[in-house]
Amino acid sequence: MKISYNKLWHLMLDKEMNKSDLKRATGISTASIAKLGKGENVTTDILVKICGALDCELDEIMELARDDIRTKNGRRKLANG
């Protein structure tokens, strides 16, 4: 499984924010914004700052996403499931 920040991007759209606005509102680095954009891991500290700036809870900005794996015959299979 991996982390998906799609909820964060949708929330930012709803609030008419872009990544630069998020960076200014939270004080997090450009590197952290880039990690979020790539779906990479960031510290809990960063996530808490985002939630504070957007006035939301963790489950409103991220979720666990199952990895999609192809079997030998080309069919899709969910990992860990």
CB contact at 8 A, 29 and 42: no
The helix-helix angle for 19-26 and 44-54 (nearest 10°) equals 100
For residue 67, name the pLDDT band (cuts at 50, 70, 90). Answer: confident
For residue 19, name the pLDDT band (cuts at 50, 70, 90). Answer: very high
CB atoms within 10 A of CB 5: 22
Topology (CATH) of 2-78: 434 Repressor (Amino-terminal Domain) (1.10.260)
Q: What is the pLDDT of residue 35?
A: 97
